[in-house]
Structure 1
Amino acid sequence: MAIRRNKLDRKANLTLDVGRVVDMPPGWAFTIDCPHHGKLKFDFNPFRESGREDLASHMRDALWNMRHTSVGATLYSYLNVGLRPFWRFLDDLTAASEEIGRLDQIDRALLDRYLAWLELQLVSTGKDRGEPWSISSRRVTFNLLKSLLLNRQKSGAPVSTDLSFPRNPFPNANRLSQKREAYSVPEQKRILVALNQDLKAIHEGRADLSGLQVLVVHLVLLALATGRNMQSLLDMKRDSLQAHPLPDRELMVTYKRRGWSTQATSLRKTLAPEAQKALQAIPTTIGEHFRALCAITAPLVDEIEQRHQAYVFIWRITHLERKGQVVRLDGQLANSGLRMFVKRHALQDDRGKPLALNIARLRPTFATELYRRTRDIRRVQQALGHANVETTARHYAEASPEAKRDHAIVVDGMVSQFTRMEVEGQVLLAADGKIPLQDMKHLLAGGYSTGIARCKNPFRENESVCQKFFHCFKCPSMCVFEDDLWRLFSFYYRLLTERSKINSAHWLKTYGPIIRRIDTDIASQFPADKVEASRLKAQQTPHPTWKGMLL
C-alpha cells in the first residue's frame, strides 16, 4: 500500500464585495476557525490604548492575513508571545516621554533598542523566577514580531524606509540553547513501571482513570516506542497502522504538520492466534496498543465534529463550561495530563524532585537508548526521520557514560602506545592544559584567586599580575571551583544592577556575552542546588568585592 503525503489545502476563504476581493478583519475583536484548534477568539482592543491605534490596526491586519498559512496555536503565539512584550517595551518608552504609535515609526534603531530591552527581562513565574530570559525565549519573541512586521512590509503597508532587521541578532543561539536531555535509565524504569500499572488497570477493567489519563498513558507509550514528536502523535488517525511487505511487521504512519512530511515506523507484529490474544492481560505489541486505543475512543466518534472523526486522540470534557463536549486532545491539555500522571504515581527524578515529564524529552530518550543498543548513528537518524546525521548526533543521540569511558580508555591506550614522554611533578586539570604541582597548590589554597573566580597562571610576561578580570571569560586560564560561585554570582548580579547606566550598544558588545557565558557555560557545570544556593546568597549578602562598588 502506497504511503502518500498529506495534500496541502491552499484555498483561502475570501470575501467578495461587488467582484472585488476583500480580506480585512471584521473588527477589533474577531474569531478564526482553525481546522486543528477550532474557533479561537482574538481581541485587539487593549492594544489600541496609549495612542497606538494605527500600529495596533496594522498588527491586527497582519495576524488576520496570516490565518491562511498558520494554525491557531501559532496565531495565539503572535499575539501573546510576539506582541505583548513589544507593547510593554513601548509602555516603557512612553514612561520616558517617547511616544511610538504608528507603524512608520518602527525602524532598525528601535528594533536594536528592543533587543537590548529583551536582555533585561526577568522570568516572572515558575522555577526560574527572577532569572534573565533565556536566549531561546528572546529569539522566539523577536522572531514572532519580525514575522508580523515582514507581513506588513510585503503587503505594501506604510512602513518606515529605515525598517530592516539584524542579520543575526542571537549568534550561536543553537549552541547556547539548553539541550533537551534524555531521561536516565532509572527515570525510564520508573516511567515504565507507572505505565505498566495503568495499562494493566485499563485492560483488566478496574481502572478509575479519566478519559484524559487514558489518552496520556497511550501517548507516553507511543512516544517511548517510536520517538515521534507530540504533534505527530496527536495527529494520528485510525488508519495510521498500515500493511508491511513482511508478514511479521506493520507500519505506523505519522505526519509532520510542519513541512508536510510523512514518517513510517516499522513495528513488530504479533502472529499469535486471536484466541491466544484474548487470554493476554494487556497487548504485547505497540500496534495492538494502538488498536486498543482506537477501540476505547470509538464510541466518541459520532459525537465529535465531522472533520475530527478520523483522529484517535479524542476525549469527553468532564468539567468547566464545555463539560460533556467531545474534542481532540491538544498539546496544552496533554501537558496538563502529563503533570497529573506524574502526581498520581509520585514520580521523581534522580535528585528526588518531582519528575518533569514531557514528550519532547522522550524523543532524545528514544534516540539515546537506540544508539546504546545499536551503536549505529545512521540507524538512529533513520528512526527519527532526520535529513542530516549531524542533527541527530548533535541534539539527540547522546553518548552514554559507558561509551565515554570506552573512548577514554582507547585514547589513553593509543597515547601510551605511540609516545614515551612522561611528565613528572605535574598534574592535569580539565582538558585544556597542564599545571605544575606548585601552581596547583596555590590554586587550591586560593593564592591565585581573582575578583570573580581563579586563574591557573595569573602572571604576565613581565612578571606582573594580570588584573583584567573582564578578559577572564575569554581566557583559557580561568578556573571556577564550587567555592567560587558566591563570588562569581555577586559579580553577576552587580553587573545586572549597573545595566541601566550602561549604553545599550556597549552592553550588547561587552557585558551581555559575559552574562550569557555564566548562565550557559559555567553554571551548567555545577549541581543545580549548589548554583541556586550561591545565587541566593549573592543576592542577599554579596561578596565584599562586589558589595556597593560602582562599575
Structure 2
Amino acid sequence: MRKRKVFTKADLCVPQIEYLRDRDDNVVILPEAIPPSNTKVLFGPNPTSSRSVDFARWYGAGIDPITYACQRQIERFLSEGEAIVATSTVASYARALRDFLNYCMLRATAFDRGLVLADVNRDLIDGYLGHLAGLGVATTTQNLSYAKTKSVLIALGRRGLIDLLTSGDAATFPNNPFPNINRKANPETALSKRERQALTVALRHAIKPIWDEDVHVTGELLSIILLVVALHTGRNTTPLLEMDRDCLRPHPKDNIVFLVLWKRRGYNSSKVALRAESDAERVLESTPSVKTSVERLIRRVIALTQPLDEEAPSYLKGRVWLYRTRAGRNADQVHALNASSLLWAASSLVARYNLTDSDGKPLRINISRLRKTFANRIFELVDGDLAITAAALGNTPEVTDKHYLASDEVTRRSWQFMGEVLVQELLTQTIGATFKNTPTGRCADPVNGQYAPKRQGATCMNFINCLRCSHYAVTAEDLYKLFSFYFRVLAERSRMDKRRWSRVYSHIPRLIDHYIVAEGLRRGIFKVAAVDAARERARTTPHPFWSVDLIDSLEVFA
C-alpha cells in the first residue's frame, strides 16, 4: 500500500532580495534592506533538533550583503516547501553557513574593507577551504560543511546574485577539493556476535517496565524500545522516529503483520514482516521476519501513548513515540523522540549495563550499527544469499554488498589461504598450475577430487559430474570446451530414452546456462561477445574431444 502523496502548499510571499546593478553589472544590495527587520529564521518541525538560526551576529561585521543574501536564500528554501528541499536539509545548510560567514568576517577584517557579493569567487572559496582545514575537524566533516555551503551559493548563482564560473582555473568551485574522501571515512561496523548477545540481554532487561500496569512512559524507555525494533528490523533512523500509529498492516498469511514505515528520501514505504507463530528466525518472501515480541512491543507502545496523541501538537499527531516531559521549561508537554534522545538513551544503557567492545571500551550503539548488524545476521541466516539480504534492507545488491556486509572469520581465513597459495605459486613460478586443464574446463585436484576414483595413479574422468564438483573452475578460455560439451549432451537426447536422458543429463545444459554463464556475465568474468563467439564455434566445429567420431557414448564418463 503506497502512501498518498501530499503536495505542500507554497507560500506566495517568497522572500526576495532587494538589489540593483551598478555600472559594472555587479549586484548591489539596497542599503535600506540591511539588516532585515527579522534576522531569525524559524525552521519549524523537522527530524533534527534545530528549530531556528539567528543571523544577527553577522550583520554589522563587514559582510552584510553576503549575510543578507544567505539569510534570504535559507528563507526561500523553506518557502518552497519540502517538495524542493527538506526542512532538515535546510537546517543543515544553515549550520554549515556559520563557518562560511565566520570566515567572511575574518577576511573582511584582514582586508580592512567590507565584502560584497562580487567577492564570492574562487579566491574566497579557496580561503574558506583553508579555514575549514584549520578548524581541526575531520576531513569528512570539512567536506560536509563545504558541500552544504556550496548548495546555498549555487542557488544564489542561479538567481544571478553571484557570478558562477564553471570551468577553467578561475572556476568558482574547485573540481575535487577533497580527493579520495570515501577512503577517509570511518563507517560504522556491525556488532560482533558477543557484542550483539550482550546488547540483546541488556535490552531485554531494560524494557521490562513497559509491561507493568502502572508504567510511566518516559523518553528513555521509549528510546530503548525503539532500539529493540531497530535491532530486529534493520530500519533507518528517520523512518523509525516518524513511525505512524497505523504502521502495523495485515499480512496475507495468518499470524503475520507488516510493519510499514515511510522513507522520506526515496518517497516510498518499506515493510518488514512480523510474525507471531514461532520464535525461530527465518526469512519469508524476501523480507525479514522477527520475533513476536517486537510486534507486541509496538502494540503496547501504541496503546500506552494513545492518550498523549490526543494532546500532541498538530505536527506530532499520529506519531507512535510520544511521551510527556517531567522537568525543564517544557515540563508536562507532549514531545516525540528525536535523534538526540536515541543517542542519550544508548549512552545511558551502555553505562548502566557496562557494555564493552572487544577492546574493553564502552560499546558504541547507534541505529547505523544496528542496521548493519541486522544485515549481516540476515546474510548469515540465508547462507550468503545477497539478493534476499538486499531485499530485507530495501537496497540494491550492489549497495548492500559494498556498504553493509562485513567479511566474517571464515571469509578472512579463505582469503588468507588464497593469498598463501598465490605467494607460493609466485615463489615457485608455478602460477596458474593450481588448476589442471580438462575437456570441460579446469580442475583443482583431478586425482583426489570430489568425484575422483581416489585410487593410486588414477585420474578422474567423471566429466558428467564436473558441474557439481567443488574443484571445478571455468575461465573465459574454457568456454569453447564447455559449449562443445554442452552441445554434445544435447545431442544425446536423440540417442537414448527420453526419461533416461532427463534423469542423467538434462541438468547439465541448465546448469551451464543459468549458473556458469549467467553468473560469469553478472560478475563481469565473461563478456557477452566472447560467450556468443564460443557458443557459435562449438555449435559448428565442436572441440575434438567431444566429437561423435572420437567418443561414441557419454556413458563412459558417467
| TM-score scaled by length of structure 1 | 0.65
C-alpha separation between the residues in 2 aligned to 1:382 and 1:393?
Answer: 12
- Residues 204/116 of structure 1: CA separation in 2 closer, same or farther (3 Å cut): same
1:256 matched to 2:263? The reply is yes
Cα deviation 1:85-120 (Å, max 9, x = unaligned): 113322433453364521221112221222233223
What's the counterpart of residue 49 of structure 1? 60
| CA apart distance, 1:4 | 0.5
* Contact 2:223/2:342, CA 8 A, preserved across alignment: yes
What's the counterpart of residue 4 of structure 1? 2
C-alpha separation between the residues in 2 aligned to 1:134 and 1:22?
Answer: 35
- Residues 5/171 of structure 1: CA separation in 2 closer, same or farther (3 Å cut): farther
| Correspondent of 1:325 among 300, 311, 333 | 333
- Residues 421/102 of structure 1: CA separation in 2 closer, same or farther (3 Å cut): same
C-alpha separation between the residues in 1 aligned to 2:190 and 2:113?
Answer: 48
C-alpha separation between the residues in 1 aligned to 2:70 and 2:427?
Answer: 69
C-alpha separation between the residues in 2 aligned to 1:35 and 1:170?
Answer: 30
What's the counterpart of residue 117 of structure 1? 131
What's the counterpart of residue 395 of structure 1? 403
| CA apart distance, 1:292 | 1.3
* Contact 1:300/1:326, CA 8 A, preserved across alignment: yes
Counterpart secondary structure, 2:51 = strand
What's the counterpart of residue 500 of structure 2? none
What's the counterpart of residue 74 of structure 2? 63
* Contact 2:59/2:67, CA 8 A, preserved across alignment: yes
What's the counterpart of residue 298 of structure 1? 306
C-alpha separation between the residues in 2 aligned to 1:235 and 1:244?
Answer: 22
What's the counterpart of residue 101 of structure 1? 115
C-alpha separation between the residues in 2 aligned to 1:195 and 1:263?
Answer: 25
What's the counterpart of residue 360 of structure 1? 368
C-alpha separation between the residues in 2 aligned to 1:419 and 1:59?
Answer: 61
| Correspondent of 1:144 among 135, 148, 152 | 148
* Contact 1:339/1:357, CA 8 A, preserved across alignment: yes
C-alpha separation between the residues in 1 aligned to 2:293 and 2:310?
Answer: 28
Counterpart secondary structure, 1:88 = helix
1:76 matched to 2:91? The reply is yes
- Residues 367/26 of structure 1: CA separation in 2 closer, same or farther (3 Å cut): farther
| CA apart distance, 1:345 | 2.3
| CA apart distance, 1:183 | 1.5
| CA apart distance, 1:30 | 3.9
Report the residue type matching 2:314 in the other structure.
Answer: Q
| CA apart distance, 1:373 | 2.6
* Contact 1:106/1:163, CA 8 A, preserved across alignment: no
Counterpart secondary structure, 1:368 = helix
C-alpha separation between the residues in 2 aligned to 1:100 and 1:366?
Answer: 54
Report the residue type matching 2:133 in the other structure.
Answer: E
- Once the two structures are overlaid, the 10-residue window that deviates more, 155-164 or 365-374, is 155-164
- Residues 111/158 of structure 1: CA separation in 2 closer, same or farther (3 Å cut): closer
| TM-score scaled by length of structure 2 | 0.64
C-alpha separation between the residues in 2 aligned to 1:372 and 1:52?
Answer: 57
- Residues 8/411 of structure 1: CA separation in 2 closer, same or farther (3 Å cut): farther
* Contact 2:67/2:101, CA 8 A, preserved across alignment: no
Report the residue type matching 1:74 in the other structure.
Answer: T
C-alpha separation between the residues in 2 aligned to 1:202 and 1:91?
Answer: 52
* Contact 1:267/1:286, CA 8 A, preserved across alignment: yes
* Contact 2:236/2:367, CA 8 A, preserved across alignment: yes
Report the residue type matching 1:311 in the other structure.
Answer: R
Cα deviation 1:404-460 (Å, max 9, x = unaligned): 2144346757988x899389xxxxxxxxxxxxxxxxxxxxxxxxxxxxxxxxxxxxx
1:288 matched to 2:302? The reply is no
Report the residue type matching 1:4 in the other structure.
Answer: R
Aligned 1:198-213 pairs, distance under 5 A:
198-205=206-213, 211-213=218-220
| CA apart distance, 1:384 | 1.2
* Contact 1:211/1:315, CA 8 A, preserved across alignment: yes
Report the residue type matching 2:89 in the other structure.
Answer: T
Residue-pair matches, total: 392
Question: Any unmatched runs of 5+ in structure 1?
Answer: 16-20, 123-132, 273-282, 424-551
| CA apart distance, 1:367 | 1.2
What's the counterpart of residue 465 of structure 2? none
Report the residue type matching 1:120 in the other structure.
Answer: G
C-alpha separation between the residues in 2 aligned to 1:95 and 1:43?
Answer: 22
| CA apart distance, 1:255 | 1.3
- Once the two structures are overlaid, the 10-residue window that deviates more, 161-170 or 106-115, is 161-170
C-alpha separation between the residues in 2 aligned to 1:49 and 1:22?
Answer: 21
What's the counterpart of residue 496 of structure 2? none
* CA RMSD, 1 decimal: 2.9
Counterpart secondary structure, 1:216 = helix
C-alpha separation between the residues in 2 aligned to 1:165 and 1:39?
Answer: 28
What's the counterpart of residue 344 of structure 1? 352
* Contact 1:236/1:254, CA 8 A, preserved across alignment: yes
C-alpha separation between the residues in 2 aligned to 1:292 and 1:238?
Answer: 11
| CA apart distance, 1:234 | 0.5
1:92 matched to 2:106? The reply is yes
Report the residue type matching 1:79 in the other structure.
Answer: A
1:214 matched to 2:218? The reply is no
* Contact 1:317/1:324, CA 8 A, preserved across alignment: yes
Counterpart secondary structure, 2:428 = coil
C-alpha separation between the residues in 2 aligned to 1:51 and 1:163?
Answer: 25
What's the counterpart of residue 484 of structure 2? none
Counterpart secondary structure, 2:148 = helix
Report the residue type matching 1:155 in the other structure.
Answer: R
Question: Any unmatched runs of 5+ in structure 2?
Answer: 18-35, 280-290, 431-558
C-alpha separation between the residues in 2 aligned to 1:119 and 1:326?
Answer: 42
C-alpha separation between the residues in 1 aligned to 2:9 and 2:177?
Answer: 35
1:223 matched to 2:227? The reply is no
- Residues 219/156 of structure 1: CA separation in 2 closer, same or farther (3 Å cut): same
Decide which structure has the larger Cα Rg and report it. 2
* Contact 2:62/2:108, CA 8 A, preserved across alignment: no
What's the counterpart of residue 33 of structure 1? 44
* Contact 2:231/2:374, CA 8 A, preserved across alignment: yes
If asked which structure has higher relative contact order (CA below 8 Å, sep 6+), I would say 1
| CA apart distance, 1:171 | 2.2
Aligned 1:123-202 pairs, distance under 5 A:
133-159=137-163, 164-202=172-210
